[in-house]
Amino acid sequence: MRTHFETKKLVPCYLMDGRCKKCKLAENTWPSEMVFAMPRMYALREKLLEPLRMRYGKPIRVLRGFLCWKELQKLKKRMRRYEDEYDVDYFQYYSGECVDITATHGARKIADGADEYMLAENLKLARMIEEMEFDQLIVFEDYVHVSYSRKMNRHEVIYKVKGYEED
């Protein structure tokens, strides 16, 4: 089966030779945290992302996937001010069980209606995910956070879109 999601897309801070671009780990060092996360990333790709891409029929852009411990702490610090609003399980970034994706590849605020188009496409993606096996789905204005667990999936759905009510 051809994959649309290469490992390097799911691991944005690591180069394929194992060096972390941001943490500046030594060359040819494959950190133990990556070894821990790899089986989960493959399950996420094979059980959720690839089937979703096939159903959607268009490219899906991965914005954020696996994060090393250092990058995870930075994300948590940035998101601390939103703690009451967002119920994101940050450990899933570290364990390789979640990604942030967007349905539109390259739609930006430059074009009139690009924001509405991006939101409409992300809502379409979210509806497709709801029909699949997943752990957590959080829909934001400009991206979708989705996780998959190999053990038990909660099917938790949260919409964080202004003026949008869940069915």
Answer whether residue 108 is part of any domain.
yes
The CATH number linked to 118 is: 3.30.1380
Answer whether residue 94 is part of any domain.
yes
18 and 34 in contact (C-beta within 8 Å)?
yes
pTM metric for this prediction = 0.77
Question: In terms of residue numbers, what domain contains 123?
Answer: 7-159
Tens of pLDDT along the chain (167 residues) come to 456 766 556 665 554 455 566 555 544 445 566 667 788 888 999 999 999 999 999 989 888 887 777 777 777 777 765 555 555 567 787 788 989 899 865 555 545 555 778 888 999 999 999 999 999 999 988 899 999 999 899 999 999 887 766 65
Give dist(CA 111, CA 117) in Å, integer. Answer: 10
* Residue of 149, 144, 57 lying closest to 101 (CA atoms): 144
How many domains would you assign to the chain? 1
